[in-house]
Amino acid sequence: MVIRQHEAMPVPNTRDTSARAHAEEARLKNSVARLSIFAAAFLILIKTGTGWLTGSIAVWASLLDSTMDIFASSINFYAVRAASRPPDHDHAYGHGKAESLAGLFQAAVITFSGLFLIYEAIKRLIYPHPTYAETIGVATMLVAIVVSFALVAQLRRVATLTESPALSADAVHFASDVWTNGGVLVALTLIYFTGWTIIDPIISIAISIYILVSALAVGRESVHVLMDRRLPPEVDAQVAEIVSRFRAEGVLGFHDLRTRRSGSQKFIDLHLEVERDQTLEEAHAASVRVLRAIEAEIPRAKVQIHTDPA
C-alpha cells in the first residue's frame, strides 16, 4: 500500500495555507531576483565611467564582473519564475531543478570572468599602464561595496528563508563582488599614495583566484542537486525520530529511505513497517499521520510512504 500526500484525509484550509505559503515564497524570490538585476545595472553604469576616467585594469575587471552579474541575474530571474510553476503532465516532480541549472550556468559565468581577469592582469604586468583620477575610483568602489553588501544580505536572507539554490548562487556571486570592489579600492588607494601601478594587476589576479574558488563552490552544489544527491544526514535522523513517536500506534520502523532535492522542494520516500495484525484501515491511518508529521516538521517536504506489514 502506498500513501501519497493527495491520499491523506482532508484537513480544513491545509491546502489553501500551503498554496498561500508557496505563492508568498515565489513573490519573495521573484522580488529579490529582480532587485539583483537593477543593482547590477547600476554598478555597470558607475563602473563604466570610472573605468574610462581611471584607466585601471582592476576597475575594468570589476566592470566585467558586474556585466556578468546582470547576465547571470537575468537568467536567475527567469529560472526562479520557472521553478515556482506547479507540477504538470510532463514534469510530475515540478520545475525546481531550473534553479540548479541557473546555478550551474552562474558557475560557468563566474569561471569565465575569473579566467578573463587573470589574462588581462598578466597582460598589464607585461605592459604596465598608468592609472588616473584614483580618488574618483575610490569613491566609486565605496558605493559599489555598499550596494553589493546590501544586496548580498537580502539575497542570503531570502535564499535561507526559501532554500533557493538559484538565490544562494546569486548571493555567492555578489559576495565575490564585495571582495572584488574591496580589492579595487585597496589597489587604487595604494597607487594614489605610492605610485606603484604594479599593484593594480597583482590585486586583480588575487581577486580572480577568489572568483574561481567561488565558482567551484556554486557549481559543485548545483551538480549535487541535479544528480539527486541525498539530503543531509540530519534529515534522515529527523525522519527516524518522527517515525519512532508512532510506535504505540503499531508503527515498528521504516526502511529504504530515499531523499533528494529539486529547487526548494525536498522529496522523501520511505517504506513504513507496521504490525502485521493491523487492519488495512488502521495501517492507512497510521501512515497518514506519519506523513503529515514529517511534512509538518520538515519544511517544503513532499512525502510518499509505502506501507509494509512487518
**Helix axes of 97-126 and 57-83: crossing angle, nearest 10 degrees:** 170
Cell readout for 239 is: 525522519
Backbone phi, psi, residue 270, to 5°: -150, 160
Task: Using DSSP bridges, classify how beta strands 265-274 and 251-262 pair: parallel, antiparallel or unpaired.
Answer: antiparallel
Alpha helix ranges (H) inside 163-245? 165-194, 199-226, 233-244
> For residue 221, what are the contacts with CB-CB under 8 A and spacing of at least 6?
103, 165, 168, 169
- Output the pLDDT for position 254: 94
CB count in 10 Å sphere of residue 140: 25
**CATH architecture observed for domain 233-309:** 2-Layer Sandwich (3.30)
Record the cell numbers describing residue 223, joined without a space.
Answer: 551538480
At 92, is the secondary structure helix, strand, or coil? Answer: coil
Identify the H or E element spanning 266: strand 265-274
Nearest to 19 by CA among 78, 82, 86: 86
Full-model pTM: 0.66
Give Cα 183 to chain centroid, integer Å: 25
CA 294/CA 291 separation, integer angstroms: 5
Please calculate the CA angle 281-286-291 and round it to the nearest 5 degrees.
125
CA separation for the pair 63, 141 (Å, rounded): 11
Q: Looking at residue 127, what DSSP letter applies? A: S
Closest among 127, 110, 120 to 57, alpha carbons compared:
120
Mean pLDDT by 10 residues, the chain (310 residues): 47 50 74 87 88 78 76 77 76 76 80 80 78 81 90 88 78 79 83 81 80 81 83 93 92 92 86 89 90 90 87
Quote the pLDDT of residue 19.
61
Between the CA of residue 34 and those of 43, 72, 111, what are the distances in Å? Answer: 15, 12, 23
Q: What is the pLDDT of residue 214?
A: 77
- Domains in the chain: boundaries: 12-226, 233-309
Four-residue CA torsion sign, 101, 112, 49, 139: positive
- Contact in structure between 307 and 1 (CB atoms under 8 Å): yes
12-226, CATH topology level: Alpha-lytic protease prodomain-like (1.20.1510)
Residue 163 burial (C-beta neighbours within 10 Å; 0-12, 13-18, 19+): middle
